[in-house]
């Protein structure tokens, strides 16, 4: 029987009548999540007296009797035995299809089969659709990544500003397992403390962004000694000259576009820039002229060619350029 999203809660309430459950989908995170939810439901129904056994694909191919021994064996210590089968580990779904068709439903243990997405023409999905004691659950990928992130932020009691949320939305794909694990990692890293954008970058993002932002936000407004220190710090990241130069170029283009549109406050720049960077960027908008910005962008283009042709001294060339942008 096909269980759609609207019927899922009703399915959980009557889960005992379904001997065999197939959960499949492109979103492996959702598949794992649903599977765990169903296992926990069975456990609660049996007063925490559930034995869960994972199907061993290697043993399956070694022994002809392995599958039937596993499915029919009863536990002496638990009220219910549940078999978990990962279909992805089998060579083909046909290896198990015929065995499922021959099972005695009344004597067999409950079985959960997990799988990547199976097509509508799949023989095993057809089997699960036509039998009322079989449940077929399809897990579709999240179309709204941001809503998926918000769901897990609430689960782990984390609050984020819009900029950090947008950053994670762009970084994560639509696999909910990845999203959940990354948010869990963020919760463990923050250890109950407030989470800001720096924390996000340190926990699940790219640490190099913090250092690059420090450098680009200081260009043209900080002392040469400070810029030199930040450049040397950035060198320790092991980034190549193209990343350096294009990060600077991208930043200067943002400043140039802001000035060209008479934007004087970084909070009005789109896409959003984290508020922790606003003070320095506002000073850059004020202190660096449009003429200077255009000159710097031309120089960066020429510098990229020079670094390519003189790779051995590319670090010195960039250092001279970056420090030269500071007037004192």
**Torsions phi, psi for 93 (to 5 deg):** -65, -25
Distances (CA, A) of 49 to 52, 82, 106, 203, 306: 10, 11, 20, 38, 71
Domains assigned to the chain: 2-139 (3.40.50.300), 145-203 (1.10.8), 207-324 (1.20.272.10)
Between 175-179, 181-185, 243-247, 307-311, the lowest mean confidence (pLDDT) is in 175-179
C-alpha span between 251 and 245 (Å, rounded): 10
Q: Alpha carbon 290 to chain centroid distance?
A: 39
Name every residue whose Cβ is closer than 8 Å to that of residue 104 and which is 6 or more positions away in sequence.
none
Name every residue whose Cβ is closer than 8 Å to that of residue 188 and which is 6 or more positions away in sequence.
none
- Taking only the tens place, the pLDDT of each residue in 192-251 is 777 888 778 777 766 677 788 888 999 889 888 888 888 888 887 777 788 888 889 999
SS3 2: strand
- Taking the CB of residue 192, how many other CB atoms lie within 10 A of it? 9
SS3 54: strand
pTM confidence score: 0.51
C-alpha span between 215 and 177 (Å, rounded): 35
C-alpha span between 170 and 148 (Å, rounded): 13
Residue 172 confidence (pLDDT) above 80: no
pLDDT of residue 203: 75
């Amino acid at each position: 029987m096909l269980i759609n999203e609207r019927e899922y809660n009703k399915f959980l309430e009557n889960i005992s009548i379904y001997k065999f459950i197939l959960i499949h989908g492109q979103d492996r995170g959702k598949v794992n999540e649903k599977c765990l939810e169903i296992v926990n439901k069975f456990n609660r129904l049996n007063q925490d007296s559930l034995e869960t056994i994972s199907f061993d694909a290697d043993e399956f191919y070694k022994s002809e009797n392995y599958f039937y021994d596993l499915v029919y064996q009863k536990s002496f210590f638990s009220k219910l035995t549940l078999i978990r089968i990962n279909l992805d580990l089998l060579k083909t779904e046909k290896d198990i299809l015929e065995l499922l068709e021959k099972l005695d439903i009344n004597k067999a243990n409950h079985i959960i089969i997990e799988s990547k997405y199976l097509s509508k023409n799949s023989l095993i999905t057809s089997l699960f659709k036509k039998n009322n004691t079989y449940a077929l659950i399809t897990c579709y990928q999240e179309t709204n990544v941001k809503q998926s992130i918000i769901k897990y932020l609430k689960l782990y009691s984390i609050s984020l500003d819009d900029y950090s949320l947008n950053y994670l939305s762009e970084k994560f794909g639509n696999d909910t397992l990845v999203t959940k694990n990354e948010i869990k990692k963020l919760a463990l890293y923050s250890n109950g403390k407030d989470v800001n954008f720096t924390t996000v970058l340190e926990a699940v993002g790219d640490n190099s962004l913090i250092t690059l932002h420090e450098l680009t936000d200081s260009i043209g407004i900080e002392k040469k000694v400070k810029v030199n220190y930040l450049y040397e710090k950035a060198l320790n990241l092991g980034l190549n000259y193209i990343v350096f130069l294009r990060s600077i170029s991208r930043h200067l283009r943002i400043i140039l576009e802001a000035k060209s549109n008479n934007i004087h406050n970084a909070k009005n720049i789109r896409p959003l820039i984290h508020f922790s960077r606003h003070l320095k960027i506002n000073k850059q908008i004020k202190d660096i002229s449009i003429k200077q910005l255009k000159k710097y962008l031309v120089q960066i283009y020429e510098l990229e060619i020079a670094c390519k042709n003189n790779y051995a001294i590319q670090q010195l060339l960039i250092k001279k350029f970056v420090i030269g942008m500071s007037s004192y």
